[in-house]
A and B are shown apart, each in its own frame.
Chain A
Amino acid sequence: MSAQTRTADPRTADRPAPPTTGPLAGAVAAEWTKLWSVRSTWWTMLAAVLLTAVTNLQLAIYAVNANTNDDPADDPGTVTVGSVVIDSLELTQYAVLALGLLAMTAEFGTGTLRTTLRCTPSRGRVLLAKAAVTGAVTYALGLLLGGVGALVAAVVLGEWGEAPLGGTARDVAASAAYLALVGVLALGLGAVLRSPVLTVIVLLALLMIVPLSLQEPGITALTRIADGFPGVAGAHFLAGDTDPYPPVVGLLLLAGWTAAALVAARAALRHRDA
């Protein structure tokens, strides 16, 4: 079993050198390779870009119409392209979080999780590697989407749009951060729930359905509870609201949800048989 007892053999004469990279770096490299070696990644990104362009087009047309129709009551005046980009996230986020979701649920569906865990037996390290790759890719995609959305919005808004460089850059960077956190949240939930359909349903409930239902009656206590949900917290962060809490608290709340999902995912992977 030891190297000394093994006779030389041409098959394996060219033995791989012992790894110099750490196991986390290896796990990240493996996740990166896996992400880009399936075509669904590219299709998802293309879908996200098209959805962003169309949604920003539509929102910008609404803003122009509101200012140019016969009803002066609904005139918003000029709007920033950044605000249009942020409003478009409500829809486009679902294309982006599919990346995080598929990175995990595809492993259950295809049985590759067993290979992944044999390569990297530490469940926490697998999740950390997946979160790093998903987070980095969704952040970069978020910047691209913000750029595309801002461009479309600026062109369509014309005289009704404002695009201060600093403000727009901040809005684009903030929406990319939001998308990265939601993408990793989807990854963590996918690891706990395993089924992609169930994960999408839970995400829809967390990001939209439950907080919307809580806000609907206009009862302060319920609205405060809704403020704690990841989508609402993210929206407060993106809008730069100071009420009910400063924007940074909104960001931290969303990050807290993402971290909690990863902790739950680690517990699930550690205790479940693969």
Chain B
Amino acid sequence: MITLRGLTKRFGATTAVDDLTVDVTPGRVTGFLGPNGAGKSTTMRMILGLDRPTAGRALVAGRAYRELRHPLHTVGALLDAGAIHPARSGRAHLLATARSNGIPARRVEEVLGLVGLDDRAAAKPGRALSLGMGQRLGIAGALLGDPPVLLFDEPVNGLDPDGVRWIRQLTRSLAAQGRTVLVSSHLMSEMQQTADHLVVIGRGRLITDAPTAEVIAGSSAASVRVRSPRPGDLTALAERLSADAATVTVDGPDALTVTGLTAERVGDLAHELGVRLHELTPVTASLEQAFMALTDGSVEYAAGRTSPTPHRIEAR
């Protein structure tokens, strides 16, 4: 369990993390999403006692990280994977890490096997490690103490497709064992496949904290496609839908996209007006679309986004 209470971090005039209150619970993979500069890494560093919060608290298993005597037995973390001395071998890096928390040396060999680093790779100095090998080494370090809480910052960074699949299975199996698993990523499609629950932040503020399925379903980007062979009827339907607080996009003479109403409601209204329909399809938004809708306005450097559909009838 990771508990954040009013967690705030300011760097001068910039507020990196703003009054974040979240519980990350065990037994599931929690995705930590947000645009670049949203404060994900700063939040993780505060959980690990590396950055001092300006206000609020970050607790792991009910305690502040700095109070833990043998923290690797409670929390394992993959943080900027490049952080290994360029002249030190991966094995020596893990051995030093293990010894600091009284973990026997044979556990180093176990975790090396677990992440798929052979003797040759483990003997390489830090400077000779590829990004992918560095990630695997970092994950090996996180698993050393067999901790109930795991934090992975951008774990699939630099991994090949096999590695990405491996991370997905690893995080899922760690969660299935009842551990608390917090995974930050900017790859929303990856989170859609891995995370059971999402914590989305933008500009340091909590935007949503909900199950992944709910985030996608509840998104304003979820829509209904409507087709009718009679354009006149469709125009009447569009006006009626707009009056019902929906956003209607005209896709062509015979098609509409409706957001803000369920397919059932659209069907009922069409029936009331006597509009003949050839199609009534609920379109589920991808996590990516849901994410864009959620973080709209909180993106630090928004690119000039253009609407893909030129004809819009705004309801409100």
Contact = CB atoms under 8 A, between A and B. Distances in A.
Given A38-B87, A114-B80, 12 more contacts: A1-B178, A1-B179, A6-B179, A15-B146, A23-B70, A33-B96, A38-B85, A38-B88, A115-B84, A118-B79, A119-B100, A121-B49
Contact of B97 (A21, A25, A115): A115
Contacts of A31: 96
A5 interface: yes
B222 to A, nearest CB: 33
A19 to B, nearest CB: 3
Given A15-B146, A106-B85, A118-B71, A33 B92 contact: yes
A175 to B, nearest CB: 29
Interface string B79-104: 11011111111001101110111111
Nearest to B102: A19
Interface of A: 1-3, 5-7, 9, 11-12, 14-21, 23, 25-27, 29-31, 33-34, 37-40, 106, 110-112, 114-122, 271, 273-274
A25 B103 CA distance: 12
B86 A110 contact: yes
B296 interface: no
A114 B101 CA distance: 15
Contacts of A106: 85
B51 A115 contact: no
Nearest to B87: A38
Interface residues of B, number: 59
A39 B146 CA distance: 31
Q: Sort A-B residue pairs by CB-CB distance and give the 9 closest, nearest first.
A: A19-B102, A37-B92, A30-B100, A119-B100, A111-B83, A1-B26, A29-B99, A33-B96, A5-B178
B186 interface: no
Contact of A33 (B80, B95, B178): B95
Contacts, number: 141
For chain B, what secondary structure do more than half of its interface residues adopt (helix, strand, loop), or is it mixed? loop
B40 to A, nearest CB: 16
Given A1-B26, A111-B80, A119-B72, A17 B178 contact: no
B260 interface: no
Contacts of A114: 45, 48, 50, 79-80, 83
11 contacts: A9-B173, A11-B173, A12-B143, A16-B144, A26-B70, A26-B101, A29-B100, A33-B96, A118-B77, A121-B66, A274-B50
A34 to B, nearest CB: 5
B99 A122 contact: no
B8 to A, nearest CB: 14
Contact of B148 (A6, A112, A122): A6
